[in-house]
Structure 1
Amino acid sequence: MVEKIKTLYEDKSINISQEVKMVLDIANKLRGTYKAEDYQDVIIPMIIIRRFECALEETKDKVVERFKKDNETPDKILKRISGFDFYNTSEFDLKKLEESPDTIAKDFDFYLKSFSQNIRTILFDLDFFDQIKKLDNANKLLLIIKDFARLDLSPKTVDPIRMGYIFEDVLRRYSENVNAGDHYTPREVVRCLVNVLLAEGSEDIYEPGKIIKVGDFACGTGGMISTTYDFIHRHNNSAKIYMYGQEILDKSYAVCVANMLIKGQDSRNIQQKNTLKYDAFPDDEFRFVIMNPPFGTPWSGDKAETGTSDFVKNDAYPDDEGKPVKGKKMGRFTHKVGKDGPEMTMTPTSGDAQLLFMQHALYKLNKKNGRAAIITNGSPLFSGGTSSGESQIRRWLLENDLVEAIIGFPDQLFYNTGISIYAFILSYNKRPERQGKVQFINATSFYQKMRKSMGNKRNELSDEHIKKITELYASFEENEYSKIFPNEEFMYQEFSVYQPMQRNYQISEERIQNIIDSNVLSNYYDPDKLEELGLLDPIPAKEKKELDKFQLHEPLFEELIKILRSNIDDTVYKEPKLFENKLFSLFKDFNLYPEEKTEKAGINKTKKYLKDKISFALSKIDKTAVIQTKRDGSAEIDKSTKDTELIPMSEEPSKYFEREVKPFVPDYIPVFEENLTGRNMSIKTGAEFPFTRYFYEYQAPEKSDVLINEFKEVSKELTSLMKEFDV
């Protein structure tokens, strides 16, 4: 598809400069009453009102006439008469409102409340009714209404595509600041991702009358799906493109609904629902999903929306009351651990829901040919240990061959963050050359400086940068900016590496003091915890039980230390059995566990404690000591020497150990401790995408003589400057 789909740039043939200039001129009249960043509170709702008013102009009288005859006329009938999914039953319009300046605030309020419920909801969500009084008190309401009444936004002169450009351009101008950036993705980034999505695997979008569903389940104001719509429409203007979205924030949702109505879309396809709790479109699958989920949004804990955790942890469907149905899993977040392991609900750390949104996107894609572009920060690439939810989600993505590419964008590209951003390109229809592989595209140096910063945004992608990124993706070749790896490169096995148990044993003051200072016997007696528990008033039953245990053990522990100190000597034992026998003789008939049912049971438990805990606490690693063995003759491992090695599944473990471990630990004992059965499941296979590692270039430090010369020059300059200030 590289030959067929060329890079799509901003459509320069659609000139919206006149309309946008008029809107900006009106906005400037708000100066003094509003701060510049708050102009949008008036301008965006007024554009919506004027567009809807212009659209209804031809059928308005018929709607008003029908409503006068029967003010209980069903909503569906009024919409059918208006010819749109909205209507207004008032005789007022912005032009007529000018005729009654003394009652303009009251009349304007009545006019707005005469819109259909869906439009009233938008205006309420935008808090626009609160602005009417503010504008009226500042004597600016009539002025703003007069100016907007002269703005021609009729569908006859401004088609939906052009209107969408006007609306999004104005929205962009008033959203490009630190606070609004949460729900606005730079347009050039969206265009870049749409180019990549359409660069291959999209042949079917050219079919006449093709039905194409595009989804964004963290849609903000709808800019990403709108851009996707515009680009596909330019390829195939006969295609029936339907946009769907979910958004939780009131104002963002309201603007998005207005945006869809302005474009002639069905506003019911935009739902104000929490994506982590609800699938708003359970019967729909999508050809394309494009999303910029919020970074660092908690899905569990005090800061998460109530109920979200229950839905996610149980991967639950909602019941008729919107509550999670436990026991029946939806399948969004539940996948097999490995290809043949048990199913597990895979959740990332509670403070960041990005990988939950990504799983939802894949859940909603058409499983035959669905494609997605998901923007993330660096966290989803590498956060979490081997068995963590993040690691297992990445493992699932790779084992199911869903990742086509990861693109690294430059920093300072977004309005509300200066950090580097990445995009996952996901697909259910990889072309043959891509199957079993992941492409990394390093576009971190692809940017041009902006003439004026906007929040944290100081860089932007040019058309040439977008073209370059698209070509790097579509050509699927390795070069300076593109690396291609087998999926196994990013999956790894976590091996535990031990040394044989070789220790010497001695009763010395140093080792006894180590027992006390290091609290190695804290499960038996912990003086700090004892003091802490003693301060609780009242004390819960569980803590009271622990307090009683420590109080019972305190004198026995002190007696144990006393006996050890009275038997200090210089003898070093290199064979554990001899030292154990010495301990048994010192503590013959000593009972550390008087709480046991019988004296004999307490003494037997004491002997085990002496062997397993006290003996080990009085030992040190000694490579000249006897290697302790199991019954089968194999070496006993020393758990205190445990280290871990993460070995890529693309490499043979034995070769890795020979190269990376043996030169430093000749007697290493590798153990792969994964267990995917039973209650004590232990996951030791994980995945990560260490993107920057593969593009890192070593830069040698400056030579010392160069640095010395630079230092001398600076020193001379300082000396010269200081002389100028001498009195």
Structure 2
Amino acid sequence: MADSDIKSLGSFVWSIAELLRGDLKQSEYGKVVLPFVVLRRLDCILAPTKDAVVSLAEDLPDDLDDYTRDLMLSEAAGDGIRTYNTSSLTFRAMRQQQAGDIHKNLVAYITSFSPGVRDIFLDKFLFTDQLKRLNDAGILWQVFERFAQIDLHPKSVSSTEMGYLFEDLIRRFSEISNETAGEHFTPREVIRLIVKLVTDRDADALTGSGIIRQVYDPACGTGGMLALTEEHLRQLNDRVRVELYGQELNPESYAICKSDMLVTGHDPENIAFGNTLTQDAHKERSYHYMLSNPPYGVDWKKYQDPIREEAEALGHDGRFGAGLPRISDGQLLFLQHMISKMRDDDAGSRIGIVMNGSPLFTGGAGSGESEIRRWMLENDLVEAIISLPTDLFYNTGIQTYVWLLSNRKEQKRRGKVQLIDASGERFWRAMRKSLGSKRREISEEAIDEVARIYGDMLNGDGDWAEVSKIFQTTDFGYREIRVERPLRLRFEITKEAIERLRDQKPIQKLNAATAEALWAAILSNMNGQVWTDRVPFLKALDKALKAADLKVGAPVKKAIVAALGERDEEAEICRDKDGNPESDTGLRDHELVPLDQDWRDYVAREVTPFVPDAWVDESHRDAADRGVGRVGYEINFNRYFYQYVPPRPLEEIDTELRALEVEIAGLLKEVVE
């Protein structure tokens, strides 16, 4: 089916939603249209073997166990189909009957499906509730009759084309209900790029017969990534056996994905419902290929307890041993979950995941994000990261990145990471008509070009000098050392200093008589004097308090020093009881020293010439390697691919301004006349 035909089909199905206007809220249109599309698809697929299934169902003994009964009826429905319907009803038969029977007939038809499909319509789509609403509104027959006109048999609409249809419908429903379309699917050209990058390096290993590949998506949505991965693998080898696995939290997306698995011959039980991060439905399993587009910037606060418990109890024996990202973004949780399912054999596993920029650089040394990046890079799991063009997704125009990971790197890639900047104009083309936030698309030629750049491991070569660069994994690491400056204080009794002193909590806790005695002692004995050394100041303070026969505790003295002392670069250094300089926390700084440099050499070159009195706090150490300074990792694309664009000449700008002035003057003249 041509693209124009798919769009035409999508427009026709969309037009059916117009029948719901006034009786349902716009946000509820998808709850009717999507399950009706699935139902019509199943009806078209099962129609050729309907009579055989109905006849067999009538002849089967009543005492036959459920497993055998389901197996026999599924086989009668046809090869590659994991469902059946024992009702003699079909869309065609119901269309020929009276309109008044349509609600009863549809409910009977739905409840005659195999248990798996029946649960999809009853428990996930809640479709019988929607049918009742349509029937009560008097529009059920009109909606059904329109769907009965559509031919959704696989010979007319392939599984891939059905994916496009669902993509188009979900996008439209999400737009009118102001929901997040990106939570349901990824644009197909982005999926094709990821699939090609993940699988093409294994083309040789996929040749021959008896090849089995297991594919997994922990946030599978309607199953687009799974379907296109299988399609591409079969293009590489039509004899390969592909087993698809996934998990999805959204009930409608899950229902669509599981329905697609049923009609394409896959085991529907491999698609699980629920929260992947808290209820891993595929424990102890590992996969050859894993692909995903997890939610961006979605917090995991409401289900943080089981995640934290697993991380603390299991450490690296669990899924989240590397660290936990900030509560506002769970993307790196999904990535760790996928890494935990890598195969520990010669074949290994490959991962392709698309995320926003946050996992690249959010979080400083020691943070959860940095520790996760550190773990991946120090274990040499990251092969490449590709920056995609903006405005590719339906619900957001932000920059996105494809991460490619493997636990069986080629020899030439070991210890290295390839960064590819595929965000430039050479890699995208403008769409003739925008779809939500999606204004650009990646052409097949661009997909092939990115795959070639990755496959050939280009490193700033020729035309691609500013597009692809190879780095050592350690190039992204640094040590965050703590640089201290000595505390230098100048003391003077001023009005402002006294006001600061009055606001100190230890002072406020004094009784009124003691407070008044303290003010009198300070003002009468110390007013008008200036100290640039803390030691003489403290002696003068003790003398003033003694003269007033006033005894105060250490907290009060500390409050006096804090309130009356001001930083002064010309003052003497404050020292502890051992004579060591005290650090000024207000002047404390941190320097990021590249991992391939000695921090002492770095300080001598970059710090000491500018602040000679500075020193490094050597007690500030990394928790893992115990070296001075905390280790951090970040990947900043802008740093590696920044291209300076010189400002335009002033003469050019002046010319444009003069032209605009003339144009504005002309417009004003027209208004006046």
TM range, normalised to the smaller chain? 0.7 to 0.9
How far residue 235 of structure 1 moved from its aligned partner, in angstroms, is: 0.8
Superposed CA deviations along residues 86-145 of structure 1, whole A, max 9, x for unmatched, are 222212122221232131221122111111221122223224334434555677655665
Provide, for residues 435-460 of structure 1, a one-character-per-residue CA deviation record: whole Å limited to 9, x for no partner.
Answer: 22222111112211111111111111
Using the TM superposition, name which of 277-286 and 57-66 deviates more: 57-66
Residue equivalent to 2:109? 111
Shift of 1:333: 4.2
From the superposition, tell whether residues 590 and 403 of structure 1 become closer, same or farther in structure 2 (CA, over 3 Å).
Answer: farther
From 169, 173, 176, the counterpart of 1:174 = 169
Per the alignment, residue 448 of structure 2 pairs with: 467
Identify the residue that residue 78 of structure 2 maps to in structure 1: none
Partner-residue secondary structure (3-state), 2:483: strand
Name 1:94's counterpart in structure 2.
91
User: Residue 555 of structure 1: CA displacement?
Assistant: 6.3
Q: Deviations over 1:203-253 (max 9, x none)?
A: 423242211111110111110111111101111121111111110111011
| Deviation (angstroms), 1:505 | 3.0
Q: Does 1:357 align with 2:334?
A: yes
> SS of 2:286's equivalent?
coil
- In structure 2, distance between residues paired with 1:657 and 1:429: 39
Task: Give the whole-Å Cα distance in 2 for the aligned partners of 1:464 and 1:567.
Answer: 85
In structure 2, how many angstroms separate the alpha carbons of the residues matched to 1:435 and 1:133? 60
CA contact (8 A) 1:285 1:365 kept: yes
Which one-letter code corresponds to 2:161 in the other structure? I
Secondary structure at 2:479 match in 1: strand
Q: Distance in 2 between matches of 1:15 and 1:704?
A: 51
Q: 1:38 to 1:720 in 2, by over 3 A?
A: same
Change (3 A) 1:41 1:623: closer
Q: How far has the Cα of 1:29 moved from its partner?
A: 4.9
User: Relative to structure 2, which stretch is displaced further, 715-724 or 266-275?
Assistant: 715-724
| Deviations 1:646-683 (CA, angstroms, capped at 9, x unpaired) | 222133334433444344323221224434669x9998
Give the 5 Å matches for 1:273-672.
273-300=274-301, 304=302, 308-315=303-310, 327=313, 331-335=317-321, 346-368=323-345, 369-445=348-424, 446-478=427-459, 479-516=465-502, 521-522=504-505, 524=506, 550=509, 556=514, 559-588=517-546, 606-607=553-554, 610=557, 612-629=558-575, 635-672=581-618
CA distance in 1, matches of 2:363, 2:511: 39
AA paired with 1:91?
A: S
Q: Deviations over 1:16-56 (max 9, x none)?
A: 87687567546535544359997655554344334433444
SS in 2 for 1:79: helix
Higher helix proportion: 2
Deviations 1:465-502 (A, max 9, x none): 11121112112122211122222222221122222233
**Secondary structure in structure 2 of the residue aligned to 1:176:** helix
C-alpha separation in 2, matches of 1:607 and 1:247: 61
Higher mean alpha-carbon deviation, 448-457 vs 48-57, is at 48-57
Match of 2:65 in 1: 74
Cα shift at 1:272 = 0.4
Q: Which of 674, 686, 692 is the equivalent residue of 2:632?
A: 686
Distance change >3 Å, CA 378–CA 52, structure 1 → 2: same
Q: Structure 1 vs Structure 2: percent identity of aligned residues?
A: 34
For residues 549 and 113 of structure 2, the distance between their equivalents in structure 1, rounded to whole angstroms, comes to 85
Post-superposition offset of 1:79 = 1.9
Q: Is this contact kept in 1: 2:489–2:565, CA < 8 A?
A: yes
More displaced, 109-118 or 58-67? Answer: 58-67
Report if the CA contact (8 A) 2:507-2:556 is conserved.
no
**Residue 183 (structure 1) aligns with:** 184
Distance 1:26 1:416, change over 3 A: closer
Bigger Cα displacement from structure 2, 650-659 vs 281-290: 650-659
Query: What one-letter code is carried by the residue in structure 2 that aligns with 1:293?
Result: P
TM-score, length basis structure 2: 0.86
Change (3 A) 1:329 1:653: closer
Q: Compare 452-461 and 504-513 and name the one that shifted more.
A: 504-513
1: CA distance, partners of 2:488 / 2:327 = 42
After superposition, the Cα gap between the structure-2 partners of 1:391 and 1:620, relative to the gap in structure 1 and judged at 3 Å, is same
Which structure 1 residue ranges, 5 or more long, are not aligned?
1-13, 317-325, 337-345, 527-549, 593-602
Unaligned 5+ segments in structure 2 are 76-80, 460-464
Return the alpha-carbon distance in structure 2 between the equivalents of residues 292 and 439 of structure 1: 21
1:67 to partner: Cα distance: 4.3
Provide, for residues 345-370 of structure 1, a one-character-per-residue CA deviation record: whole Å limited to 9, x for no partner. x1111121111111101111214421
Contact 1:27 1:39 survives alignment (8 Å) = no
For the 8 Å contact 1:298–1:352, the answer to whether it is kept is: yes
* Partner amino acid, structure 2, of 1:674: H
C-alpha distance 226-619 of structure 1, shift in aligned 2 (>3 A): same
Alignment RMSD (CA, Å)? 3.3
Q: Compared with structure 1, are the counterparts of its residues 227 and 683 closer, same or farther at alpha carbon in structure 2 (3 Å cutoff)?
A: farther
**Aligned partners of 1:42 and 1:634: how far apart in 2?**
76
Per-residue deviation, residues 165-207 of structure 1 (Å, max 9, x unmatched): 2311211221234433321100000000111112325642324
The answer to which of 431-440 and 27-36 deviates more is 27-36
Partner SS, residue 98 of structure 1 = helix
Structure 1 residue aligned with 2:15, among 28, 31, 47?
28
Question: What is the alpha-carbon distance in structure 2 between the residues aligned to residue 358 and residue 203 of structure 1?
Answer: 27
Contact preservation (8 Å) 2:478, 2:592? yes
**45, 48, 54: which is aligned to 1:64?**
54
Instruction: Judge conservation of contact 1:347–1:390 (CA < 8 Å) in 2.
Output: yes
Measure, in 1, the Cα distance between the counterparts of 2:640 and 2:319: 30
Amino acid at match of 1:579: F
Give the 5 Å matches for 1:219-298: 219-298=220-299
1:525: Cα distance to partner? 5.3
Deviation of the 1:709 alpha carbon: 4.9
* Residues 509, 565 of structure 1: 8 Å contact kept: no
Give the match's secondary structure for 1:297.
coil
Structure 1 residues 139 and 350 mapped into 2: Cα distance closer, same or farther (>3 Å)?
A: same
Matches of 2:334 and 2:5, distance apart in 1: 39
| TM-score w.r.t. length of structure 1 | 0.80
- CA 1:630–1:16: 2 relative to 1, 3 Å: closer
